Amino acid sequence: MRLALYQPDQAGNVGTIIRLAACLGVPLDLIEPLGFPWGDRALKRAGMDYAEIANVTRHESWETFAARLEGRLVLFTTAAAAVPLPDARFEPGDTLLLGSESRGAPEEAHERADLRVRIPQVEGTRSLNLAVAAGIGVAEAIRQTGLWALG
């Protein structure tokens, strides 16, 4: 199980997701370019010292990431046609991809995705914060697959 972010815009979200990935034992892929400098203070503040123990791989482009992808690509999206999270079935080798905060995921990610998943929300709400969505998605995926990092 892996978590991936497509060109994230906000350092604080990425720092929080680095911390999430470290605590849950889930490798994290970052697809560049990022919308902020890698050494940003907000990234360090949100990630705290977890960045040192997190398994983070930076990819210079979508093409580089896609070429190294193993297993299924599961895209989290707000698209109405996506499978609602309670109905989605995850596999241990899945890579869970979330798009950038401002632009979402590109068309190539939608085309490449083996599964598109939507987190159900109350009518009239747009979207969840990226870090919150990542936490909900990865927690459900590792719950289903039994991949909780027990320590």
How sure is the predictor about 150, in pLDDT bands with cuts at 50, 70 and 90?
A: low
Contacts of 107 (CB under 8 A, 6+ apart): none
Dist CA 32 CA 90 (whole Å): 26
Q: Which CATH architecture has domain 2-145?
A: 3-Layer(aba) Sandwich (3.40)
| Nearest residue to 137 via CA among 58, 57, 63, 28 | 28
Q: Where are the domains of the chain?
A: 2-145
The more confident residue out of 49 and 92 is 92
pLDDT at 140 over 70: yes
What span, in angstroms and rounded, lies between the C-alpha atoms of 89 and 141? 8
**Three-class secondary structure of residue 111 per DSSP:** helix
- Over residues 145-151, the mean pLDDT reads 77
Q: For residue 129, how many other CB atoms are within 10 A of its CB? A: 13
Please tell me whether residue 96 adopts helix, strand or coil conformation.
strand
Confidence at 85, pLDDT banded by 50, 70, 90: very high
pLDDT at 41 over 80: no
Which pLDDT score, from 0 to 100, does residue 6 have? 98
Give the pLDDT band (50/70/90) at residue 81: confident
Provide the pLDDT confidence category of residue 148 given band limits of 50, 70 and 90: confident
Q: How many residues does the chain have?
A: 151
Mean pLDDT of 106-118: 96
Q: Please say if the pLDDT value at position 149 is more than 90.
A: no
Confidence check: pLDDT of 89 > 60: yes
Which parts of the chain are beta strand (E)? 2-6, 28-31, 56-59, 73-76, 83-84, 95-98, 115-118
Global pTM? 0.93
